[in-house]
Amino acid sequence: MTQIALVTYPGFTALDLIGPYAVLRMLPDADIRFVWHETGPVTTDSGVLVIGATHAFRETPRPDIVVVPGGSTSVMIHADDPELRRWLRAVDEYTTWTASVCAGSVILGAAGLLRDRRATSHWQAVQAMRAFGATPSADERIVEDGDIVTAAGVSAGIDLALWIAERIAGSERAKAIALAIEYDPQPPFHSGNVANASAGTIARANAIPARDSITLPHMSSGIKVMWRAAIRQARVGRRRRRPVLPTR
Q: Supply the residues annotated as catalytic.
A: 102
Of 211, 191, 213, the residue nearest 202 (C-alpha): 191
What whole-number distance in Å separates Cα of residue 242 and Cα of residue 88?
31
Helix (H, G, I), strand (E, B) or coil at 63: coil
How large is the C-alpha radius of gyration of the chain?
18
What whole-number distance in Å separates Cα of residue 76 and Cα of residue 59?
25
Of 24, 143, 117, 42, the residue nearest 84 (C-alpha): 42
Do residues 64 and 34 lie in contact, with contact meaning Cβ atoms separated by under 8 Å?
no
What whole-number distance in Å separates Cα of residue 32 and Cα of residue 54?
9
